[in-house]
Structure 1
């Protein structure tokens, strides 16, 4: 299938099958915003879970670079600050399909 014929969600799933990436990295690659990457990732997660391939979208949680907090409620989110120490130095989640 040519790239022009693929949907955004198909291109996202293909990218996640190749290597883990953050929403910002995927946004640049797919010409989207990081927020829209996360919205599409939710749908991709449901789509791959409903197939016979045993694939799933895995999310490494965002992590505070100052205190190490990584117990965020919503893994598919771009937190602006750490709820534990209030630092704004929070890494993005990393997504992959395995």
Structure 2
């Protein structure tokens, strides 16, 4: 029995680059990586990678609402990474709210 060759993967057609699309979504709203993932159709991990680049490219205009522990209320204010932390350094809880992102209105 002869197997048919696999069809090549064809990415979705986009009018803007993915990063520009993410920035446009974040201009008027505060969204988590999970919400952005659903809106643009890529994995949450990929969104986080793009957010790291956007953070550098926008020179501080990416506003990060820090993660917060649901058990003790600890806020991860000084955290530089955009990824959600694994556990709270104070109470060791893993119940942590995802960080949220928005873009400051610019010139």
Q: CA RMSD in A?
A: 1.8
Matched pairs, number: 91
Q: Does 1:59 align with 2:64?
A: yes
Q: Does 1:80 align with 2:86?
A: yes
Greater fraction helix: 1
Considering only CA atoms, is the larger Rg found in Structure 1 or Structure 2? 2
- Stretch moving more, 34-43 or 61-70: 34-43
Q: Structure 2-normalised TM-score?
A: 0.75
Greater fraction strand: 2
Q: Structure 1-normalised TM-score?
A: 0.81
Show structure 1 runs of 5+ residues with no match: 50-54
Show structure 2 runs of 5+ residues with no match: 1-12
Matches within 5 A, 1:1-98: 4-49=14-59, 56-71=61-76, 73-98=79-104
